């Protein structure tokens, strides 16, 4: 790789980082961010009570007690360092500044995970140009970028999955070359995996990925699995001990009773969140999902180039024989994706909000697909990769701040609003609240009267001296007019408020589509 390409890439990455930081601080607040902060506060209170009174009552009675706080251990110190600075910069109250300050940490971690993704690409195929194009496709993929601005659960989970995968690939490379595996690699892997598990207990599935790595390695290298374990028993014990230690340390729910590990796995596999996701015009319930749900959303959420690359595997399979390490990694990731997907289907795991709970598999699909494309035709890979990067940049600009709702061109053959879940996290709320503020100043609205919408409307409106905030569900009991209604569509069956005037709709369009996607509306009821 020439010095000029290196320098240009570095400049582009710096620009990306600056723009991403700006966007993360100026994007609205998602629904889950309140629950995530509450989860942290309850866990901290439980830890304090545990040492003072020996009781875990508050945590054990908390409905989301098995949602870990690993990422919060990293983010909270930074949040409290910068929240006051953001308070003077952003038009939100103090609690709002705490929530938005996490955006910065989420995006930074995502960016770091992109660098590890780049390193995995180098291990796959020792070509820096290939790895760089793959890196920019990863970072600019609108679905990832959109989530990296606001998602406190799935993006940290995805990031640590990538980091853990990279370290596992490094260990595998050492085994492949029959070199000694440094102990520090094992410690790094245990720490990264522990953070993964502490974010969401389903992170234990990465142990399955590690096992698939080893089994595939033994099959392709014609080695005995048992002999490999026997020869590396010391390394295995170090890994298991350090993994157990760090996992226990980062999950306060386990402290009072180690058996909670088993309870958490059972609870997570049957997470009782009775919500529906609009999928091809049908509201599919999380507690009774058809197998088609997964494939529908993967089909519409993955870039078409990535789908094509994945389907090319039969054509490039023979070329893998020339590079056994690449073959081991490719087969391992394919088996990982298929087996985890099969487990989710067979265990009837409750997922919702399109495919975000399986977002951690998408980087693996990217790796497989991009490698397939490169091995099939280098010229096609470079041309199509650069072209897709350009399209991604344009799409990110055109649909900001709704990048996380991105869908590929196949979706544009359908009426998106009527067929798919779109702004399920209510990012449109920030814009709608701003419209309410402007309208209220022109209409001499009494700010003691109520605004009906989502629970966190006060973080935006409190700074404008609005006093009353109520949930949309309380609207039917509303008696005192005038009032404002903020309706986040989320493709839920919410009726419009009666006898009210529509003052604003939040809409956007996808690239190369004449469809207008409506994600929210604001109403004045006089």
Q: Which of 476, 477, 497 is nearest to 486 (CA)?
A: 497
Residue 417 has pLDDT above 90, yes or no: no
For residues 87-112, average pLDDT: 92
3-state secondary structure 293-329: HHHHHHHHHCCHHHHHHHHCHHHHHHHHHHCHHHHHH
Residue 396 has pLDDT above 90, yes or no: yes
Residue 408 has pLDDT above 90, yes or no: yes
Report the predicted TM-score, pTM, of the whole model to 2 decimal places: 0.94
Local confidence band at 510 (pLDDT 50, 70, 90 cut-offs): confident
For residues 72-85, average pLDDT: 91
Local confidence band at 115 (pLDDT 50, 70, 90 cut-offs): very high
Q: What percent of the chain has pLDDT over 90?
A: 58
pLDDT for residue 491: 53
- CA torsion sign, 134 to 192 to 104 to 408? positive
Local confidence band at 362 (pLDDT 50, 70, 90 cut-offs): very high
Q: pLDDT by residue (tens digit) across 207-255?
A: 999 999 999 999 998 899 999 999 999 999 999 999 999 998 888 888 8
CA distance linking residue 363 with residue 366, whole number of Å: 5
pLDDT for residue 494: 64
Higher pLDDT, 50 or 133: 133
How far from 201 is each of 30, 114, 136, 190, CA to CA, in Å? 22, 23, 30, 15
pLDDT for residue 157: 97
Residue 34 has pLDDT above 90, yes or no: no
Residue 461 has pLDDT above 70, yes or no: yes
Span of 165-174, 353-362, 506-515 with lowest mean pLDDT: 506-515
pLDDT for residue 273: 67
For residues 318-344, average pLDDT: 88
How many C-beta neighbours within 10 Å does residue 460 have? 26
Cis peptide before 426 (omega within 30 of 0): no
Q: pLDDT by residue (tens digit) across 437-451?
A: 999 989 889 999 999
Q: pLDDT by residue (tens digit) across 212-225?
A: 999 999 999 889 99
pLDDT for residue 493: 60
pLDDT for residue 321: 62
Local confidence band at 87 (pLDDT 50, 70, 90 cut-offs): confident
pLDDT for residue 91: 83
Q: pLDDT by residue (tens digit) across 194-204?
A: 999 999 888 99
Q: For the stretch 207-229, what's the b/e string if a residue is b when 16 or more beta carbons lie within 10 angstroms of its beta carbon?
A: eebbebbbebbbebeeeeeeebe
How many C-beta neighbours within 10 Å does residue 451 have? 25
Span of 61-75, 166-180, 397-411, 511-525 with lowest mean pLDDT: 61-75
How far from 317 is each of 205, 228, 311, 357, CA to CA, in Å? 27, 26, 11, 30
Q: pLDDT by residue (tens digit) across 266-323?
A: 776 666 667 889 999 999 988 889 999 999 999 999 999 999 999 998 888 777 766 7
**Sequence-separated (6 or more) residues with CB below 8 Å from residue 37:** 98, 99, 102
Q: How many helices (H) and strands (E) does the chain have?
A: 22, 7
Residue 68 has pLDDT above 90, yes or no: no
Q: What percent of the chain has pLDDT over 70?
A: 96
């Amino acid at each position: 790789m020439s010095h000029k390409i290196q320098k240009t890439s570095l400049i582009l990455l710096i620009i990306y980082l600056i723009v991403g930081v700006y966007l993360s601080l100026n994007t609205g607040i998602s629904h889950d961010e309140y629950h995530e902060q509450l989860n942290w506060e309850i866990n901290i209170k439980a830890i304090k009570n545990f040492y003072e009174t020996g009781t875990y009552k508050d945590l054990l009675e908390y409905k989301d007690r098995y949602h870990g706080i690993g990422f919060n251990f990293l983010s909270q110190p930074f949040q409290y360092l910068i929240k006051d600075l953001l308070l003077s910069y952003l038009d939100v109250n103090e609690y709002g500044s705490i929530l938005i300050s996490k955006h910065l940490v989420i995006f930074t971690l995502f960016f770091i995970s992109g660098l590890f993704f780049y390193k995995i690409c180098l291990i796959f195929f020792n070509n820096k140009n290939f790895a760089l194009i793959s890196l920019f496709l990863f970072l600019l993929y609108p679905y990832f970028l959109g989530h990296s601005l606001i998602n406190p659960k799935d993006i940290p989970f995805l990031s640590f999955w990538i980091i853990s995968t990279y370290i596992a690939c490094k260990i595998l490379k050492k085994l492949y070359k029959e070199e000694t595996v440094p102990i520090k690699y094992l410690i790094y892997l245990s720490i990264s995996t522990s953070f993964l598990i502490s974010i969401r207990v389903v992170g234990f599935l990465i142990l399955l990925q590690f096992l698939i790595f080893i089994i595939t390695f033994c099959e392709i290298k014609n080695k005995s699995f048992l002999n490999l374990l026997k020869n590396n028993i010391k390394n295995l014990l170090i890994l298991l001990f350090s993994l157990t230690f760090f996992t226990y340390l980062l999950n306060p729910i386990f402290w009072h009773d180690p058996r909670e590990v088993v309870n958490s796995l059972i609870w997570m596999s049957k997470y009782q969140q009775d919500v529906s996701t609009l999928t091809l015009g049908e509201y599919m319930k999380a507690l009774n999902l058809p197998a088609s749900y997964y494939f529908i959303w993967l089909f519409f959420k993955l870039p078409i180039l990535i789908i094509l690359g994945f389907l090319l595997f039969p054509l490039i399979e023979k070329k893998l024989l020339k590079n056994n390490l690449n073959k081991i990694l490719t087969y391992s990731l394919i088996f990982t994706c298929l087996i985890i997907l099969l487990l989710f289907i067979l265990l009837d795991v409750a997922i919702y909000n399109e495919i975000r709970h399986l977002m951690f598999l998408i980087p693996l699909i990217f790796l497989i697909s991009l490698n397939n494309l490169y091995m099939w035709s280098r010229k096609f890979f470079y041309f199509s990769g650069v072209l897709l990067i350009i399209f991604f940049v344009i799409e990110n600009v055109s649909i900001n701040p709704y990048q996380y709702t991105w869908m590929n061109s196949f979706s544009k053959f359908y009426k998106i609003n009527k067929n798919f879940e779109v702004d399920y996290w209510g990012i449109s709320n920030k814009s709608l609240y701003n419209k309410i503020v402007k309208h209220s100043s022109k209409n001499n609205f009494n700010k003691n009267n109520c605004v009906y919408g989502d629970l966190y409307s006060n973080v935006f409106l409190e700074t404008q001296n609005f006093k009353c905030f109520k949930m949309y569900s309380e609207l039917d009991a509303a008696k005192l007019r005038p009032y404002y209604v903020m309706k986040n569509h989320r493709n839920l069956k919410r009726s419009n408020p009666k006898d009210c005037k529509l003052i604003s709709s939040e809409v956007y369009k996808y690239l190369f589509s004449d469809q207008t996607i409506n994600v929210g509306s604001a109403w004045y009821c006089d």
